[in-house]
Chains A and B, each alone.
Chain A
Amino acid sequence: MESDITHRGDGVAVLALRGKLNMVTAPVVRETITALVGDGHSRVVVDLAEVPFLDSSGLGALIAGLKSARQAGGDLRIAAPSEQTRLVLRLTNMERVLTPYDTAEEAFARA
C-alpha cells in the first residue's frame, strides 16, 4: 500500500491511497490517519480512486480514522471509490455513516 498526502490551501489534508485496503494494509492506514490528525490536520479526505479492493478490516481503519478526526474537532470523508468499494459500503450499510463523494475536491465543499 502506497499513500500520498497533499495539504490543500483550505486546511484539508488529502490522503490518496494506492493498492488494496485490506486486513494487511489496514493497520498502516489507521496509523497514518492517526498521525495526520495528531499533527493538527483534523479535516481529512481519504481518496480511494486507486484502491481496487476494500474489505471489512479496511472499513475498520476508516472508522478508526473517523473517530480520531471527530475527536480532534474535524471530520474524515471518503472520495472516489471504485465499483467494488461502493458495493462493500452498500452491503455493510456503511453508506449510512460515511458517504462517498465523487471527488476529493467535493468532499469538504459544503463545510
Chain B
Amino acid sequence: MTGTLTLSRGAARTERLDRRQDERHLILVRLVATVTLLLGTLYIAWRWLFSLNPDALWIAVPLVLAETYSLIDVTFFAITVWRVRRRPRPPAPPRDWTVDVFIATYNEPIDLVLRTAEAAKRIHYPHRTWVLDDGNRPELREAIEREGIGYLTRGAAWDGHQRHAKAGNLNNAILATEGEFILVLDADQVPDARILDHTLGYFLDDSVAFVQTPQTFGNVGSRDPLGSDAPLFYGPIQQGKDAWNAAFFCGSNAVLRREALMQLAIARYVKDVERSVAHALRRASRVLEQARRTDDGKDPVLSAALSALDDAIGETRRSLQDGEPIALATFELQRRVEGISRDLVAIQLHAAALDLADLAGETGIAADLDFTAAVDQLSSGESSPLAAFTAVQALIRSLDVDLGSEAQPLMPLATISVTEDMATAMRLHSAGWRSVYHHENLAVGLAPEDLGTMLRQRLRWAQGTVQVMLRENPHLQRSMTFAQRLMYAATGWSYLSGFATVVYFAAPIAYLCFGVLPATADPIQFLVHFLPFLAASRLLFLVGSRGIPTRRGRQYSVALFPVWIRATVTAAANVFFARPLDFVVTPKTRQRTGNALRLVWPQAVMAVLLAVSVPIGVARVTLGVAEPIPVLVNVVWVAVDLAALGVLVSALRYRGYGKEAE
C-alpha cells in the first residue's frame, strides 16, 4: 500500500513537472507562431501587391497562389499546436465495465491474424475478443475458435447489399455484440496487455466517445525509407487537435463507446428514413402529374384510380408535414394503394396491365432498380397512364422505414467514405461528444514494405479524406465548434498540396530554361522578403514538433505530389459524378511488383526536367543572356526540390525490413 502511494506520489510529481514544462513550451510556440504568421502575411502581401510579373502571369499567378496555399497551411499548423499539451494520466477504470475487442481482417495471412488475436486475448482488463473475418475463411475460423476466441462474419442479410468494406464489417459486429466499450484493432496491430487499463479511465467522463492511441510499426528501421512512421501526426498534431477537442479517430488502436456509436446510428437512421420517404413520395407525385397530362380519358376507371392515388399520396405528404409518424403514415398509404390497385385490377383485367406490371417489377421492397427503370422509361416518353399507375404502385410498395437498400438499417460507423474513421469522428464531434488522444504506444503493427503497397495506402487515405470534405464539408457542420471545423479543414487542406508542389517545380524550370521570372523584384529584394518568413516557419515546425524527426514526412509530402493530385481528382469525380475510386485494401505483406519505377514515373520525369534545367541555366549565364544571381537562387531551389524527390530513390531500392541493400 505504501509502495503504491509513493509511486503515485512520484507519478503526480512527474506530471506536475510535465505540466510546468508544457506551459513554458506553449509560450515559445505561441511566440514563434505569431512572428511566423506576421512575416508570412507581409511576404504574401508583398508578393500579391508589388512583385507579380505582369509579362508572365501564366506562371506568376500560379506561383503566388501556391505560396498563399503554403501560408494557409502554416497557419493551420500554428493553430493546431497553439494549445498542444500532454494529457495527465486518466484515473483507473472500474473493474466491471464490459469490453469487446474487435480484430478486423479481410485477406491478411492467418498466422498474422492469429498472432494479433492471441495478444488481444492476453489483454489484462476483462474483455471478449472477436475476429471479424470479412474474407469468410473456414481455416481462419477453425484456428480462431480453437483458441476460444469469438469469430464473426457477415450473415446472409448482407447478400446482394452494399458491403461498405471495413465500416460494414465493424457495423455488422457492433450489432452482434454487447460490450459497453469496443477496442478496434487492424489485423496487424498487436496490442499491449495494458491497452485497456490505460485508456478506459477516460470514459469516466460520460461525454467521451472515443480514445485514440498512436499507430507504430515493428518493421520500420530508423531510416524509414517508406516514411511509414508518423511521429508528427501521432504526437504534436494529434495532441494539438486533442486540445481543441478534435482528436482524430484513425480506425485502429482506439477504444469507442458503444452508446455514442449507437446514438449516431439512430439519428442517422431517422434522417435517412425521412429523406428517402420524402424523396419517393415526391417522385410518385411527379409521375402521376405527368400521367395526368397524357391521360386521354378513354379509360374512366383508370383515370379514377390515378386520381385516387394522387389523393392518397397528397394526404400522406401533408400528414407527414404535420408530424405524423413515418411508420404509420407509410403503412397506411401502402394499404390504401393496395386497395386501389385491387379495385382496378378487378375491374379491368386486360393483358396490357400484366405486361406493364412486368416492366415496373413485382418484386416489391428490393425493387429499387426496377422502379427506377420504370420511372425512367416513363420520363423518356413511352409513358401511358397505366404504366404510371404501375410505377407509382412499385414506388409506394418500396417506400419503407427499413432502408431496404442497406443490409442493416443501423450503420454506427459512417459509410460515406473509404476512411470511415474520419467521417465517424466528425459526426461524433458534431453530435457534441468529446474525444481523447492518449499519447502512449499501446500496439505495434506492420507497415507496408514495398513502394507499391505504400502508395496505394496513401492514395486511399487521401481519397477518403477528400471524400469526407466534399460530402460533409466541416464548415457546414454547424454544431461543431469553430476550432473543430478548423482542425478538420486543416487535414483536408494538407491534401491539396500536390497542386502547389507542381508549381514549385515548374517555376525554377521556367526561369532556368526560358528566363521567365514570376516576380519582378530583383533577387536580393526577394530574399529579404522571403528568407525571414522561411526561417520563422522552419523554426515553428522545429519548436512545434518538439525535436521529433519530421524530415521524412516533409520529403514525402512533396515527393508524393502525383498521389495527392490523383486522390483529389478521383475523390471529386466520385462525390460529384459517382465514379468509382478503384478502391483497394492495403496488403500487409510485401507485394511482388514488376518495374517499380512505373509507380513513380511522374516524379522521375519531373526529376529529369529539374536536373536538365540546371546546366541550361548555367549555359545561359555563360552566354550572357541570364544574370548569375537569379540563376544561383533558382539552382538552390532546384536542389531543394531534388532532395525531396530523392527520398524515392531509397524507397525504390528498399527490399523490406531487415533486407537493406546496403
Chain A interface (Cβ < 8 Å from any Cβ of B): 23-24, 26-27, 30, 55-57, 59-60, 63-64, 66-67, 70-71, 75, 77, 92-99, 110-111
Given A57-B258, A94-B266, decide whether A75 and B327 contact each other with a Cβ distance below 8 A: yes
Instruction: Select one of B266, B323, B332, B409 contacting A111, CB under 8 A.
Output: B332
Q: How far is the CA of A63 from the CA of B98 in the complex (A)?
A: 24
Q: Are A57 and B178 in contact (CB under 8 A)?
A: yes
6 contacts between A and B (CB under 8 A): A59-B262, A59-B266, A67-B404, A70-B402, A71-B404, A93-B266
Q: Are B259 and A64 in contact (CB under 8 A)?
A: no
- State whether the Cβ of B335 lies closer than 8 Å to any Cβ in chain A: yes
Measured between beta carbons, the chain B residues less than 8 angstroms from A67 are 402-404, 408-409
Q: In B402-434, which residues have CB < 8 Å from any A CB?
A: 402-404, 408-410
Q: How far is the CA of A111 from the CA of B334 in the complex (A)?
A: 11
Taking the closest CB of chain A, its distance from the CB of B198, in whole angstroms, is 23
Q: How far is the CA of A27 from the CA of B172 in the complex (A)?
A: 12
- State whether the Cβ of B265 lies closer than 8 Å to any Cβ in chain A: yes
Q: How far is the CA of A26 from the CA of B265 in the complex (A)?
A: 15
Q: How far is the CA of A23 from the CA of B98 in the complex (A)?
A: 10
Binds A, one of B267-275, B501-509, B531-539: B267-275
Q: Are B176 and A97 in contact (CB under 8 A)?
A: no
Q: How far is the CA of A61 from the CA of B258 in the complex (A)?
A: 14
Interface Cβ pair total, 8 Å cutoff: 92
Measured between beta carbons, the chain A residues less than 8 angstroms from B403 are 67
Taking the closest CB of chain A, its distance from the CB of B594, in whole angstroms, is 48
Taking the closest CB of chain B, its distance from the CB of A99, in whole angstroms, is 4
Q: Which residue of chain B has its CB nearest to the CB of A77?
A: B327
Instruction: Select one of B178, B326, B410 contacting A23, CB under 8 A.
Output: B178
- State whether the Cβ of B280 lies closer than 8 Å to any Cβ in chain A: no
- Interface size (B, Cβ < 8 Å)? 36
Q: Are A92 and B176 in contact (CB under 8 A)?
A: no
Q: How far is the CA of A97 from the CA of B323 in the complex (A)?
A: 10
Q: In B272-297, which residues have CB < 8 Å from any A CB?
A: 273-274
Q: Are A63 and B178 in contact (CB under 8 A)?
A: no
Measured between beta carbons, the chain B residues less than 8 angstroms from A96 are 270, 273-274, 323, 325-326
Q: Which residue of chain B has its CB nearest to the CB of A98?
A: B327
Measured between beta carbons, the chain B residues less than 8 angstroms from A27 are 175-178
- State whether the Cβ of B367 lies closer than 8 Å to any Cβ in chain A: no
Q: Which residue of chain B has its CB nearest to the CB of A69?
A: B402
Chain B interface (Cβ < 8 Å from any Cβ of A): 98, 175-180, 258-259, 262-263, 265-267, 269-271, 273-274, 323, 325-328, 331-332, 335, 365, 400-404, 408-410
Q: Are A98 and B408 in contact (CB under 8 A)?
A: no
Measured between beta carbons, the chain B residues less than 8 angstroms from A99 are 325, 327-328
Among B175, B273, B332, the most chain A Cβ lie within 10 Å of the Cβ of B175
Measured between beta carbons, the chain A residues less than 8 angstroms from B325 are 95-99
Q: Are B327 and A63 in contact (CB under 8 A)?
A: no
Q: Which 4 A-B pairs have the closest CB atoms?
A: A56-B262, A67-B402, A99-B325, A93-B270
Taking the closest CB of chain B, its distance from the CB of A17, in whole angstroms, is 16
Given A70-B401, A94-B270, A96-B326, decide whether A26 and B178 contact each other with a Cβ distance below 8 A: yes
Q: Which residue of chain B has its CB nearest to the CB of A24?
A: B178
Instruction: Select one of A23, A94, A97, A111 contacting B259, CB under 8 A.
Output: A23
Q: Are B270 and A55 in contact (CB under 8 A)?
A: no
Q: Are B400 and A70 in contact (CB under 8 A)?
A: yes
Q: How far is the CA of A55 from the CA of B404 in the complex (A)?
A: 24
Measured between beta carbons, the chain B residues less than 8 angstroms from A64 are 175, 408-410
Instruction: Select one of B262, B269, B326 contacting A55, CB under 8 A.
Output: B262
Q: Which residue of chain B has its CB nearest to the CB of A62?
A: B266
Q: Which residue of chain A has its CB nearest to the CB of B266?
A: A92
Among B267, B335, B403, the most chain A Cβ lie within 10 Å of the Cβ of B267
Taking the closest CB of chain A, its distance from the CB of B160, in whole angstroms, is 13
Q: How far is the CA of A95 from the CA of B270 in the complex (A)?
A: 9
Q: How far is the CA of A67 from the CA of B272 in the complex (A)?
A: 14
Measured between beta carbons, the chain A residues less than 8 angstroms from B365 are 70-71
Q: Are B258 and A23 in contact (CB under 8 A)?
A: yes
Q: Which residue of chain A has its CB nearest to the CB of B324?
A: A99
Measured between beta carbons, the chain A residues less than 8 angstroms from B404 are 67, 71
Excluding A57-B259, A96-B274, 20 further A-B contacts by CB distance (< 8 Å) are: A23-B258, A24-B178, A27-B175, A55-B259, A56-B263, A56-B266, A59-B262, A59-B266, A60-B410, A63-B269, A64-B409, A67-B403, A75-B327, A92-B267, A93-B267, A94-B266, A97-B273, A97-B326, A98-B325, A98-B327
